[in-house]
Structure 1
Amino acid sequence: MDLKTFEIACWAVLTEAAADPQAGFRYLTLATVDAAQRPQARTVVLRECHDVRRTLTFYTDVRSPKWQEMAANPQVTVLGYCHQRRLQLRLAGRVACYAAGSDVARAAWRALPQHTRQTYIAGPPGEALAPAHETPVATAAETGESRFGVMIVQVNMLDAYQLQRNENPRALFHYPAHGERQESGWINP
């Protein structure tokens, strides 16, 4: 396999995962750094992938710690491993966050199914659950939209590692802001 074919295949599986809830790369790990400079990682759902622009899109509750962490330091890493393909993808980049009221968030919210919208009505992520009798009931006017945010990662580096029986190809790709490959090469596994 040549370098370009490997790169295209990596982006193709991410694009597939954004469209298919059963795909191996649908759930990825997003890593940020908190205020105490400790790494934080959590699973996020890949909502969109644009292979030409080299962007990955995720949704979150703007009250979540990761939203605050990304506001303070927009450098993130996204990690995924697909057991069926035996492929690991590590992507680093800069995240742009779009809160409720932005055109990006409004468009994404309108496209969300009702059952997904429901997740933004509850209390802030990570807080203790209130007893059932103390949980406020959402009003008909409460949609959760004010708590909805979109995160778009502009990928500037892709480290792709394919596990095989014999040789394990690994490549590093770097991208400038416009998405075209700047430099790349095979590296030791």
Structure 2
Amino acid sequence: MKDNELIRKNYTEYNLNELEQDCWTRLVIGASKSRSPFHTPCVATLNSGEVNMRTVVLRKTIPVDKELRFHTDIRSPKWNELSINSSISALFYDSEERIQLRVKGKAVLHHTNDMTAKAWETTSLSSRKCYLTHFSPSSFSDGSTSGLSEEIEQENFTLAESEVGYENFGIVSIQVQSIDWLWLNHAGHRRAFFDYSDGSFQWMIP
């Protein structure tokens, strides 16, 4: 299916089941196409009652399991936050189509297991750089720095030498509990809610 085959200007013609399927199709494309507006959602976690947000890269979408995945450094604050409180939200927005998805779920953390091993094997050298810093992400420094050595910054290292980064590599799996869909339309917005905890699909007032 081509990306433009998803475009259907009048969402008032959709029923709830068609709309829910469209959401997951867009999320699948978001994980596979780097230029998709759904490729880099904003993810929110909780830390002692405060909300922390950051942009992540959507790496995998599994509609049948209602699952989304992204990669992260296990030394990062979000990994620690999710290990304490697994509640997580992800915000997706397509400015051209004017479609917003607010996804809520529970995070399952994966580290040094079959899932992470398989993903690490296909992680490029340039992406592996993210896991080769000597200090943990969000650490303060005396000046502007990537946290990497000059050799690593210039990718002057081998795939074998990058294997040490696997120890810091983790996958966050979002077990989706609900999707709040919103379509902004000058003639009248539309909104729907898909609750996977009880299987109910409902229209909402935008």
Q: Give the CA deviation at 1:128.
A: 2.7
Q: CA 1:86/1:98 → structure 2, altered by over 3 Å: closer, same or farther?
A: same
Q: Give the CA deviation at 1:168.
A: 1.2
Residues 33-44 of structure 1: pairs in structure 2 closer than 5 A? 33-34=46-47, 36-44=48-56
Q: CA 1:114/1:142 → structure 2, altered by over 3 Å: closer, same or farther?
A: closer
1:19-70 Cα offsets, whole Å, 9 max, x none, are: 0000011000111001x21011111100001112111000000000000000
Residues 1-189 of structure 1: pairs in structure 2 closer than 5 A? 1-34=14-47, 36-99=48-111, 101-122=112-133, 123-129=135-141, 141-143=161-163, 144-176=165-197, 182-189=199-206
Gaps of 5+ in 2: 1-13
1:113-153 Cα offsets, whole Å, 9 max, x none, are: 11111111013111134667x96567864531110000000
AA aligned to 1:186 is W
TM-score when normalising by structure 1? 0.89
What is the alpha-carbon distance in structure 2 between the residues aligned to residue 173 and residue 85 of structure 1?
20
Q: Give the CA deviation at 1:4.
A: 1.1
TM-score when normalising by structure 2? 0.82
Give % identity. Answer: 29
Structure 1: 4+ residue segments shifted above 6 A: 137-140
What is the alpha-carbon distance in structure 1 between the residues aligned to residue 39 and residue 25 of structure 2?
12
SS of corresponding position for 1:52? helix
Q: CA RMSD in A?
A: 2.0
Gaps of 5+ in 1: none
Q: CA 1:74/1:128 → structure 2, altered by over 3 Å: closer, same or farther?
A: same
